[in-house]
Amino acid sequence: VGEVGELSEIFQWRGEVDKGLPNWEESEKEHLGEELSDVLLYLIRLSDICGIDLGDAASRKLVKNAIKYPPPPPK
């Protein structure tokens, strides 16, 4: 949970960010990459401890989301 908090702190006062983070310093992007990696590694470890196949769970969730939030009909 602490790693997620550290990740959220990076974005806490930034609001929306542009794709590719063009206004960020390289050192800020590097720090973000480190925090994202920490969260990913903990998530993978937690899913392993819990016996959950993260890939399968994500695939099932994508299907549920597609049903719950279908794209708008074409105009």
| Gap between the Cα atoms of 73 and 75, Å rounded | 6
pLDDT at 14: 87
Query: In the predicted model, what is the mean pLDDT of residues 1-7?
Result: 88
Q: What Å distances lie between residue 7 and 14, 29, 43, 45, 60, CA to CA?
A: 12, 12, 13, 18, 26
- Helices and strands: H and E segment counts in the chain: 3, 0
pLDDT at 75: 87
The ranges assigned to domains in the chain are 2-68
Q: What is the pLDDT of residues 12-67, one digit of tens each?
A: 988 899 999 999 999 999 999 999 999 999 999 999 999 999 999 999 999 999 99
Q: DSSP strand E in 1-75: where?
A: none
The residue with tokens 């470890």 is 45
User: Which CATH superfamily, name and number, covers 2-68?
Assistant: MazG-like (1.10.287.1080)
pTM of the model: 0.77
